[in-house]
Amino acid sequence: MRTLFFLLLFINLGFAVYIQLEPAARSGIQPGPELQPEKIKPLPAVAAPTTCLEWGTFVEAELDRVEAAIATHELNGKMSLRAMGKAPVYWIHIPPLRSKRHAEKKIGELRRRGVTTYTLVQDESKWNNAISIGFFEDIKDAQASMMALKSKGVRSAIIGARNLEQVKFVASSPSESLAGKMRDLKQEFPASELKTTKCN
């Protein structure tokens, strides 16, 4: 009787083991050691956006005067020039005079009247020997500047509309020294704008 009891016990144990292993065998999954959990890798740090200082906007016709001022402040190579495409601007100028000598004489008159912002146009265009006084994006700003000129006795200046290439100067992550010099430059060009932006 005891022998029969142990025989039935072993048969039941064998059947129980078969029942446990049979689904895995059907699915083709072999029992094995537990999988080790993957190590969690930290995400790479995201760099903070770089700050830029933008100074502008200027038109190509102003670049000689602007770049001369940049050189005076020893800022050559410390700012990048970016084209912004063509746009309509309002140009305050004295129309072309008969010769360079006549233009220089007119410039002398402007100086005596307290006008310090001007450029003599010297090129092969129809504007040769004109005197450029300023470019403005907004007609109201141009009209306000004209009123100031008239208050100084300047009567020969006019406002004309032109479609010109616009540019700006950009300094990436400027030092305090560079930012200070750019603020000084802005004071020399009252119609310009200096602003902090995120670099593209």
pLDDT tens-digit series, residues 22-75: 554 454 555 455 545 556 666 665 555 689 999 988 998 888 889 999 999 999
pLDDT for the residue 155: 95
Domain region containing 177: 51-198
Please report the sign of the dihedral spanned by the C-alpha atoms of residue 196, residue 143, residue 90, residue 133: negative
Residue 41 lies in a domain: no
Residue 150 lies in a domain: yes
Residue 2 lies in a domain: no
pLDDT for the residue 24: 46
pLDDT for the residue 68: 92
Residue 118 lies in a domain: yes
How many domains does the structure of the chain reveal?
Answer: 1
Q: Which residue stretches of the chain have pLDDT < 50? A: 4, 24-25, 27, 31, 35
Residue 24 lies in a domain: no
Residue 126 lies in a domain: yes
pTM of the model: 0.62
Residue 77 lies in a domain: yes
pLDDT for the residue 111: 95
